[in-house]
């Protein structure tokens, strides 16, 4: 068993963005040399997430509208009493989730049809990172 770890860095232009990171994760898997195992992809911030879904622009807009409807920006979040103004971003992260695990088979991410890995940013415009840890043989 061996492991390979790399980090992806982001500094988004907008507060909320959805970035397809599939190719970057695939490159890390190739570099790892691991043929059978798993890739863990995890946002290392509590106002971001990682998810798997279709890379279709209408769906991405639907996801954004859905998280905004369930966790809209408001001024009255208790979290804002700390001086922060990103209470909604914390809640959006909980909705999306912060990590995914993808099987690796024969040296490649073993996806179902249409599956892609996305980084979801909910409180952007500053440096953030994602860990990619590839484990296997």
Query: pTM of this prediction?
Result: 0.95
Predicted local distance difference test score (pLDDT) of residue 116: 98
pLDDT number for residue 23? 98
pLDDT in tens, 21-56: 999 999 999 999 999 999 999 999 999 999 999 999
Full residue range of the structural domain in which residue 60 is found: 2-136
pLDDT at residue 48 in the model: 98
The average confidence (pLDDT) of the chain is 97
HEC sequence for 54-98: ECCHHHHHHHHHHHHHHCCCCCCCHHHHHCCCCHHHHHHHHHHCC
Domains identified in the chain, total number: 1
Residue with tokens 């979801």: 120
Cβ burial of 92 (10 Å; 0-12, 13-18, 19+) is buried
Q: CATH number, domain at 12? A: 2.60.120.460
**pLDDT over 70, % of the chain:** 100
- What is the reported pLDDT for 14? 96
Supply the pLDDT for residue 85: 92
pLDDT band at 5 (very low <50, low <70, confident <90, very high): very high
With beta carbons less than 8 A apart as the criterion, state whether 60 and 20 touch. Answer: no
């Amino acid at each position: 068993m061996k492991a390979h770890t790399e980090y992806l860095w982001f500094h988004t232009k907008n507060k909320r963005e959805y970035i397809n990171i599939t190719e970057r994760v695939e490159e890390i898997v190739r570099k790892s040399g691991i043929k059978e195992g798993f890739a863990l992809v995890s946002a290392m911030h509590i106002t971001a997430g990682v998810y798997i879904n279709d890379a279709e622009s209408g769906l991405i807009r639907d996801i954004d509208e859905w998280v905004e409807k369930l966790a809209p920006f408001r001024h009255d979040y208790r979290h804002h009493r700390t001086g922060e103004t990103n209470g909604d971003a914390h809640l959006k992260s909980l909705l999306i989730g912060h990590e995914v695990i993808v099987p690796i088979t024969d040296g490649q991410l073993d996806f179902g049809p249409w599956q892609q890995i996305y980084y979801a940013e909910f409180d952007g415009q500053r440096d953030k990172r994602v860990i990619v840890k590839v484990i296997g043989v």
